[in-house]
Amino acid sequence: MSLADAGFTARQVAASPGAFFAGDLDMTALGVVLAEAGPDVSFVAVELTGNAAGGHPVSVAGLRAVRAAADAHGVPLVLDATRVLENAAHVVAHEDAWRGADLWKAADALLASASAATLSLSKDFGVASGGLVATGLPELADSLREHVGTRGHEVGLATRRLLARALSEQDEAAAMVEERMEAVRTLWTGLHRAGWPVVEPAGGHCVLLDVDRAPRFAGLERPVESALAWIYRGTGVRAAPHLAGRGRIRLAVPLGFGVRRAAQAADRMAARGATTRPYRTCCRSAARSRRAPWRGSIRRRPCPRTSAGPCARATGHRTTTPRSSPSARPRWSVG
């Protein structure tokens, strides 16, 4: 069940303008929202290097300011800390008070700023599934203990041991996150140099493309979908629509993708972007949709290449595979 299903209504607060830590909330805007909502506020929620913001980080100072505002209003601060290591890496690299500090101390400072936090461990700790809930609120802690006592753990013993092992391997987790961030910077830099309309600044785990700034797709009925198909057909790179921003494409880089493959993906997209051939929309046109349907049939016949059994063969219609088909290229899932 989502928060909306449970009866909550979300109020979005604008980010702080013009800052490197583009995930920081605008404190004036937060004050206005809290004042307008009054006693109806249940909690304040912040996501570290959130997807909606394109992977942009939150500063320790900014998060502590949000906690102070939440305390003054008498409500808890709930943190989505799924990418806490990635956010901490930005903090020790760019926040003046934390520059050069230990990564895990910065992560601890981020978590300590919250009243409660949820962590999906699949993004920064290299596991397929599983996560944690942490809180300093005694009532919530008692409720969680009661939940485990009556319903049991949400995951089995083997998975709990795997999660504990992943959390204990701090050096390995930090190295994986730092490599992914370097791969994102490599991809962003390559696309920026090639003239792709990248969203600035570079995030921590994805690169956003602003399709509305790409003349090649101007005037199309479905510019985002057409751009996705055009990129995939010419490069083998699979991207996705950025659901938090209309007219944008998201290239997400997973753990383990590597800097070398990110550079290769950037080179392929640079070559694709340099082509001067006119673009033809990938979406079916109205004229084509009015064509008479194909009159062929599908028959079951013995396969001429094997005696293992029948195969489906189309009659009355000839199909060809173009040489430029992406089936001949490696598929890279970057989004």
When pLDDT is cut at 50, 70 and 90, the band that residue 162 belongs to is very high
Greater model confidence, 15 or 112? 112
Topology at the third CATH level for domain 172-282+328-333? Aspartate Aminotransferase, domain 1 (3.90.1150)
Question: What is the helix (H) or strand (E) element at residue 46, kind and residue range?
Answer: strand 44-47
Q: Which residues of 38-76 are buried (b: 16+ CB within 10 A; e: fewer)?
A: eeebeebbbbbbbbebbbbbbbbbbbebbbebbeebebb
Confidence of residue 290 (pLDDT cuts 50, 70, 90): very low
Which of 62-76, 144-158, 185-199, 258-272 comes out lowest in average pLDDT?
A: 144-158
Res 181: pLDDT: 94
**Are the CB atoms for 210 and 258 separated by under 8 Å?**
no
pLDDT at residue number 278: 57
Give me the pLDDT at residue 245, please: 73
Token digits for 11?
């109020």
Class of domain 27-168: alpha beta
Interval 217-262: pLDDT, tens: 988 889 999 999 999 999 999 999 998 778 999 999 999 999 999 9
Quickly count: other Cβ atoms within 10 Å of residue 82's Cβ. 24
**172-282+328-333 shares the fold of 27-168:** no
CA 304 to centroid of chain Cα atoms: 46
- Six token digits for residue 137: 């609120």
Residue-level pLDDT at 51: 80
Looking at residue 263, what is its pLDDT? 96
Query: What pLDDT, on the 0 to 100 scale, is given for residue 40?
Result: 92
Q: Which residues, listed in sequence order, are joined to residue 78 by a DSSP beta bridge? A: 45, 116
Domain ranges of the chain: 27-168, 172-282+328-333
d(CA 178, CA 55): 14
Among all chains, which residue has been given the structure tokens 């992943």?
166
Q: Is 233 exposed, middle or buried (0-12, 13-18, 19+ CB in 10 A)?
A: middle
Q: Between the CA of residue 282 and those of 81, 191, 260, what are the distances in Å?
A: 38, 23, 30
Instruction: Name the residue with higher pLDDT: 140 or 293.
Output: 140
The residue among 248, 187, 224 whose CA lies nearest residue 54 is 248
Q: Which residue has the tokens 């290299």?
A: 126
User: What pLDDT does residue 113 have?
Assistant: 96
Rounded Cα distance between 6 and 219, Å, is 41
* Sequence-separated (6 or more) residues with CB below 8 Å from residue 31: 69
**What is d(CA 263, CA 207) in angstroms, rounded to the nearest whole number?**
13
Question: Residue 248: enclosing H or E segment and its boundaries?
Answer: strand 248-252
